[in-house]
Every structure is written in C-alpha cells, then in structure tokens.
Amino acid sequence: MLASFRIARYTSLLRAARRQSTAATSSLAPVPGLDLSQTKLRRAVFYVPCSEERKIQKSFLSPADCIMYDLEDGVSLNRKGLARSLVISALGAAGPRARELGVRINAIGSGLEKDDLTVVLQAARLDVIMIPKVETPGDIHYVSELVKELAPESNVRIIAGIETARGIVNIRDIAQADRRVDSLLFAAEDYCADTGISRTKGRQELYYARSVVATTAHAYKLQAIDMVTMDFRDMDVLREESREGAEMGFTGKQVIHPNQVDIVQECFAPSKETVARAWRIVDGYQKHYKLGKGAFDLDGKAIDMPVVKWAYHVLHRAEMAGIDATKIGD
C-alpha cells in the first residue's frame, strides 16, 4: 500500500512539473521556470566505422543511447565509397532496439559531404546527423538546406561538432543556426591539432573550451556531448573523465569502443544516492509549500527554489535512464 502511494505521488509530482501546473489549477506546488521538455537521453554517442562490416554487425547489440555510424575520421580516404555503400544497410538493419541512429558525415568543405548526405538521406530511419568541424552557421545551413531538398519530410536533428578555435569563437551563432540543432559536441583531438595545445593527463588545457561548449549548450537548451577518452583500455581514466564531464554540465560523451559504453552511460545517469536526495527534496518542497514556506532545511542544508529545480531535473533524467526513483530512498 505504501509502495503504491509512493509511486502515485512520485508520478503526480513529475507530471505536474512537466505541465508547469500552477497553484490555481493544482494541489501540487508550482515550480516556476522549470523546463523538463527534454525527452531523449544521449549519454553514450558510440562511433562505428562504416567501412568495417564486423563492427557494424556488433553495433546492433550495443546498449548505447546513440549509435553513430561514421563516414569521417573512422574511415580512411580510400574506403569512403565502401562506407557509403554500407551505411544504408546498417541503418536499416539496426532495428527498434537502437534508441537513436545517426551518421557522422565528412566536414563541410571537404568535398565529400554532399555525397555523404545524398546517400544517408535515403535511409528509412535517420534520427541525427553529426556535422564535424563546424566553424560557422553556414555549415549548419548547408546541411539543413540539403535536407529540405532531398528529404523534405525528415525530422532529422543535427549535432554540431565544435573542434576548432574558430568554432569556439562562433559557438553562439552556431547554436542558434537552425531549429534542427539539438546538441553541441566538443572534439578534443581536433581542437588540440588546430590550436597547437599539448594534451596532459590533467586536462586543464581543455577546461576553457569544454566549459564554453557545455555552458553555451545549456544557454540554448541543447545537449552537450563531451570529448572521447582515447585511452580506451583504461577504464579508470574513462570513469574519471566521464564523471568530470558530467560535473561540468555535459549530458553525454563520445565513445569509440564497445567496452566504454556501460561506464559512460552509468556516469551520465544520476547515482542512486543523488536520486534519493532529489526525491526527498521534491517531496519536502511539496510539504513545506503547503505550510507557506519557500525555503526549508534538509539534513542541515538550506533548500530553496534553485535546488528544487535541480532535484526535478535529476528525477526526470533518472526516469529517462530507466531508474525507478520510487524504489530508492525513503
């Protein structure tokens, strides 16, 4: 009985928050300015070279939130044609198990991008196009216009890859370039190559660029995808980088090896402890609102509206990740 009440209450709280209900229309406390419109997780963006049939076959079983079939860096120049010939069958064979299917095309200006788009836009299912090395809004416009021409009914979204200093400088304009853009992605290796930065284990040399990408994404209600962990055999480094990225505000991370997927998706989902605290904050807010209190104490820490909004976001993200918050905590 108690479990049923808890589930019903939790469900009511999230539903009310999504509707942005007000005190005049609901017995539940309102949360002004709360935005829970995001409906899709993109924790692990798993690159699969589209020139390697064995890897394509293995990708069909991947639990990654986003399978990104790669026509760019993962494919040598002399195999681009082969990759294009395989990408349509890969997209068609992935099946309903895949949460999101995308293709990383070659950069605008490479001379390869139009052929890539002409092929991939024929696919029966294509959820997202990742454009690498985006430096100006014009790169986004080029792809968007070609989508309108070749697949006018398509709802395909765009991930904009920020990989150069020029991309960082123009990032606000890129973020607003087209309604199809729903994510900004940071590529560390290309950024270092462009700027001459030397990579270190501490990653401090990348902090500014990563912060700009994450902050700009949130400013325009976009997702933020963090850099690849190149040392794909070191799971400790992967976990450290993933947790750091989540703490910086990234919503997901690029992945280049199947063994990286589970750790990344775990790190970019709320922990049980975080979910339990978020549930107590939301529940406490509802109770104190009825007493006319705007702020309250929880475990010796002050809880006010920004913290309440954070808690709702945690519960919403947990739900999207398949975590049952009603079974966590008291």
Phi first, then psi, for residue 163 (nearest 5°) are -135, 0
61-66: Cβ within 8 A, 24+ apart: 61/97, 62/98, 62/258, 62/261, 63/261, 63/262, 63/265, 64/99, 64/255, 64/261, 64/265, 65/40, 65/41, 65/99, 65/100, 65/252, 65/265, 66/42, 66/99, 66/100, 66/101, 66/102, 66/128, 66/252
Q: What is the pLDDT of residues 287-311, one digit of tens each?
A: 988 888 889 999 999 999 999 999 9
Q: Which two tokens stand for residue 189?
A: 């290796």
| Separation of alpha carbons 13 and 89, rounded Å | 43
**Which residue out of 173, 297, 304, 324 is catalytically annotated?**
304
Instruction: Provide the total of helices (H) and of strands (E) in the chain, helices listed first.
Output: 13, 10
CB 36 within 8 A of CB 278: no
The label of the residue with tokens 């933020």 reads 224
Q: What is the pLDDT of residues 164-199, one digit of tens each?
A: 999 999 999 999 999 999 999 999 999 999 999 998
pLDDT of residue 290: 87
Residue ranges in the chain modelled with pLDDT below 50: 1-5, 21-25
Assessment of whether the complete model's pTM goes beyond 0.85: yes
| 304 counts as catalytic | yes
- C-alpha count within 13 angstroms, C-beta hemisphere, residue 187: 24
